[in-house]
Amino acid sequence: MIRFEQVAKRYPGGIQALADVSFELERGEMVFLTGRSGAGKSTLLKLIALLERPSRGRVIFEGRNVGRISRRQIPWLRRQIGIVFQDHALLSDRRVFDNVALPLVISGVAYPEIRRRVRAALDKVGLLDKERMYPPMLSGGEQQRVGIARAIVGKPALLLADEPTGNLDPELSAELMQFFTRLNETGTTVLIASHDLDLIKRLGRRVMVLGEGRLVDDVRVAEGLS
């Protein structure tokens, strides 16, 4: 589904975020991406979603070179991918329902279908009773779940999550990871950037480790992630 071929990303000012990263992610996998702060985790996710373009190498998504996709083709790519941001990235002046509906509105989906899918997504994350509230009225954990509902409302083939448990307590973090696991079991491919090694070890999934912009390990925790 995703293939990185000797991918590098250098930002203005000479900051090397990624260097010669290569890996493959199969359809239906659930994979964790870990490493210290500044290792390049967020950059890697942004390259997949075309929020950034690689400086060198190829990012292949569903057989297509993401780095060469034209502006007109970007909506096609974005419809395949749901993104959960660490800071939620919610619109504070819009109700929960409207925040979740935004990707469908942009895609031109008819309102009856928007209503059905938004309410279904909110129900999945346990927030159907909050649909008329505004994000500042919710707890941090609830805001994160709104962000997840928005990411899955379009039924994407791939879900990217950038430190989704970074601001949550251990109990909520474990609950959120179980939600991602259940979502993966329905067929959605899931790639999660996280530094919570204790939680990752308990889930026993494939883990890719970045260090100073390079892929330094790619294992299943059962095989001995240290």
Q: Is the pLDDT of residue 203 over 80?
A: yes
Alpha helices in 27-89 (DSSP H): 41-48, 74-80
Convert the pLDDT of each residue in 153-180 to its tens digit.
999 999 999 988 877 788 888 888 888 9
Domains of the chain, CATH where assigned: 2-223 (3.40.50.300)
**Residue 115: CB atoms within 10 Å:** 15
Q: Is the pLDDT of residue 185 over 50?
A: yes
Q: Are 23 and 189 in contact (CB under 8 A)?
A: no
Exposed / middle / buried, residue 153 (Cβ in 10 Å: 0-12, 13-18, 19+) = buried
**Residue 127: CB atoms within 10 Å:** 21
* Percent of the chain at pLDDT exceeding 70: 97
| 196, two tokens | 């919570």
Q: What is the pLDDT of residue 195?
A: 86
Confidence of residue 197 (pLDDT cuts 50, 70, 90): confident
Q: Which residues of 80-106 are buried (b: 16+ CB within 10 A; e: fewer)?
A: bbbbbbbebebeeeebbbbbbbbbbee
Q: What is the pLDDT of residue 45?
A: 96
Confidence of residue 226 (pLDDT cuts 50, 70, 90): very low
Q: Is the pLDDT of residue 221 over 80?
A: no
Confidence of residue 225 (pLDDT cuts 50, 70, 90): very low
Which three-class secondary structure state does DSSP give residue 141?
helix
Alpha-carbon distance of 209 to 193, in angstroms, equals 10
Confidence of residue 220 (pLDDT cuts 50, 70, 90): confident
Of 4-13, 38-47, 84-93, 152-161, the one with minimum mean pLDDT is 84-93
Q: pTM of the full predicted structure?
A: 0.89
Helix (H) or strand (E) holding 20: strand 15-25
